[in-house]
Structure 1
Amino acid sequence: MSKISEVLAHEKAAVTGSSVGPIKSGVQSLPPRKIRILGVPLDLGASRRGVDMGPSAVRVAGLEAHLEALGHDVTDGGNITVAIAETKHRGEENARYLKEIAETCTKVAQEVSKTLEGGMTPVILGGDHSVAAGSVSGVAEYYRSQQQKIGLIWIDAHSDLNTPETSPSGNVHGMPLAALLGLEPKSLADICGFSPKVLPENTVLIGVRDIDATEKENIKRVGLTEVYTMRDIDERGMRAVMEDALRAAGRGTAGYQVSLDMDWIDPENAPGVGTPVRGGATYREAHLAMEIIADHGGMLSLEVVEVNPVLDERNRTADLAVELISSAFGKKIL
């Protein structure tokens, strides 16, 4: 365990009252990776505050130590600088703080691309889901320079396919996927100077269960067909859904980014999120999805967003986030 991991582990003990000893190595058969953690404490895209503390909560839950226990070489790149809401003007009500969010996402894209150039796998910790406009752009830009395209696995209770014209809330965290697929907001869609970042046939939504009527229209508008609702998971099972999803995201691509919103999981298991929706994935379904991703081996980058410690219970949601990230990087039961 590294020095910083020891510090984080003992910080967690202070928060939860638990005793923390050395983390035992999980069983993992995948080749070790060089991983770089990037925090993006962005909370400008949501109406409920607190997700800016998400990266710290996940670090305190021992992310670095858990990944190192699996044999990975882990570096923490710190946090991307983010504007403070109280010091900025909200801007247009149909896309609040869009200017500041676009500036942050541009910095995220640059750091993610630089991470890949250095031969490392980015692990991005949000912050609200608008950070994906930057992280996916960075991955797409790097592989575009290699004359390759990428896929996207979007795991979320929501489709995040609103635009400023269709959004009922004006919250930009409901718009990043629309931007990545070439719709509005333009300032997010044009990050890195090209659009779209991913093609509809390589973009997969998993676990959605709360979609606005206008988002349904946008899904048809962009030609997005790989959409798996919770009913699909109920009827077909997680394994069948994930196999179809990974096949689509990997078809003709260098691999895919996984964008995991913690509100995908049922609030019984992940209470610390800003927009909880009943009827989400169970604890084991969530782990199974990550384990199948690890087995497939095509993950280029992983982000976990919308952990809100203000709404959490004894850091339960951050603890689960660390467990799921570990599963995505090869932790197995046996």
Structure 2
Amino acid sequence: MKVTIILASYDSGHYHGGCGQGPDAIIAGGLVDELALHGHEATVEDIEKVTEDDEQAREVSTGFAVCDAAAGHVAGAIGLGRFPIVLAGNCLTTAGAVAGEKADSVVWFDQHADLNTPETSTSGFLDGMAVATLLGRCWRPLAGAIPGFAPIEPQRAMLVGVRAVDPAEEGLLKEQSILSVQCSEAAGKAASLMEAGARRTHLHIDLDVHDPEMLQVNRYATPGGPSPDQLRKAVIGAADALPIVGVTLSAYDPIVDPSGEVPPVVGKLLIELLDTLEKR
């Protein structure tokens, strides 16, 4: 399969800070060569800096500027018949990938629900609003300005592996028709997205969905979650059932992974995903 890997190396408005170092670390871990060994041709594009003065950049404006850039790169890759893989520091960048793909549905692997809005968030953390942004519940003017962006209907969104949910998010999950399932249920529940009209599905994988006892990817992971093998099985099951048009992987901070355990896990996951999509 022909693949374009797009690097969005930002974390909370800062270029190459924190999890913004993750995309380069994954590439340095040999991802392109590993994909080639399994028959996949990968090129790498870097959106690079989107603001001139990183120290003064505001998280919100920079975050959406990254989304704009990601959307352009993703759309360009698809126009060339290539499958887009976005390696991002922040989850919000997925809004750009969804826009560039014109995706109408999403499978969201994450330990967090990311359903807060500015009105409900107690921390103000922008990434905690990523799914709410995709669903059109907040930041509407900024999201609407991303080329190609259209909100996803709640019934075409499936959260997988969520275990850290704020009270306000619990209320929204009860009110809305958003699926929230465990990894072991992902493949079986994917059909409900198709029944809801999913035709172009984006796959989002926040790597801190992993059990930190088995794979530490950042400082924010909470106890529980799947092993790498369990996650890979769930991702492949979902990909086998849904029309996946692109993938984002986010939230890897290499400073907590001095032995470099995460890049090979990412490589194995992506190889099996691409092999699955190629056979469909």
Match of 1:127 in 2: 89
Match of 2:189 in 1: 245
Match of 2:211 in 1: 266
Write out per-residue CA displacement over residues 254-297 of structure 1, whole angstroms, 9 at most, x where no aligned residue: 23110000110101222122310111101221121133245346
Q: Among 63, 69, 76, which residue is 1:107 paired with?
A: 69
In 2 relative to 1, CA 267–83 (structure 1 residues): closer, same or farther, beyond 3 Å? farther
> 2:166 aligned with 1:203, yes or no?
no
In 2 relative to 1, CA 293–83 (structure 1 residues): closer, same or farther, beyond 3 Å? same
Q: Give the AA of the match of 1:162.
A: N
SS of equivalent residue, structure 1 residue 56? helix
Q: Give the AA of the match of 1:227.
A: S
Deviation at 1:73, TM superposition (A): 2.2
In 2 relative to 1, CA 195–66 (structure 1 residues): closer, same or farther, beyond 3 Å? closer
Q: For the residues of structure 2 that align with 1:58 and 1:249, how far apart are their CA atoms?
A: 31
> 2:264 aligned with 1:319, yes or no?
yes
Match of 2:178 in 1: 225
8 Å CA contact 2:47, 2:69 repeated in 1? no
In 2 relative to 1, CA 293–71 (structure 1 residues): closer, same or farther, beyond 3 Å? farther
8 Å CA contact 2:88, 2:250 repeated in 1? yes
Deviation at 1:323, TM superposition (A): 1.8
Match of 1:301 in 2: 246
SS of equivalent residue, structure 2 residue 86? strand
SS of equivalent residue, structure 1 residue 224? coil
Q: For the residues of structure 1 that align with 2:50 and 2:270, how far apart are their CA atoms?
A: 24
SS of equivalent residue, structure 1 residue 208? coil
**After the TM superposition, which of the residue ranges 76-85 and 104-113 deviates more from structure 2?**
76-85
Deviation at 1:320, TM superposition (A): 1.5
SS of equivalent residue, structure 2 residue 146? helix
> 2:28 aligned with 1:60, yes or no?
yes
> 2:86 aligned with 1:118, yes or no?
no
Match of 1:9 in 2: none
Q: Give the AA of the match of 2:264.
A: D
Match of 1:213 in 2: 167
**Structure 2 residue ranges without an equivalent (≥5):** none
Match of 2:121 in 1: 167
SS of equivalent residue, structure 1 residue 111? helix
Deviation at 1:194, TM superposition (A): 7.1
SS of equivalent residue, structure 2 residue 10? coil
Q: For the residues of structure 2 that align with 1:257 and 1:156, how far apart are their CA atoms?
A: 14
SS of equivalent residue, structure 1 residue 276? coil
8 Å CA contact 2:6, 2:86 repeated in 1? yes
In 2 relative to 1, CA 195–130 (structure 1 residues): closer, same or farther, beyond 3 Å? closer
SS of equivalent residue, structure 2 residue 3? strand
Q: For the residues of structure 1 that align with 2:161 and 2:231, how far apart are their CA atoms?
A: 10
In 2 relative to 1, CA 194–255 (structure 1 residues): closer, same or farther, beyond 3 Å? closer
- What percentage of residue pairs aligned between the two structures are identical? 26
Q: Among 289, 301, 306, which residue is 2:234 paired with?
A: 289
Q: For the residues of structure 1 that align with 2:179 and 2:37, how far apart are their CA atoms?
A: 35
Q: Among 70, 93, 100, which residue is 1:138 paired with?
A: 100
Q: Give the AA of the match of 2:44.
A: D
In 2 relative to 1, CA 61–294 (structure 1 residues): closer, same or farther, beyond 3 Å? farther
Q: Give the AA of the match of 1:123.
A: I
SS of equivalent residue, structure 2 residue 84? strand
Q: Give the AA of the match of 1:37.
A: I
Using the size of structure 1 for normalisation, the TM-score is: 0.75
Q: For the residues of structure 2 that align with 1:187 and 1:59, how far apart are their CA atoms?
A: 34
* Larger Rg over CA atoms: 1
In 2 relative to 1, CA 243–301 (structure 1 residues): closer, same or farther, beyond 3 Å? same
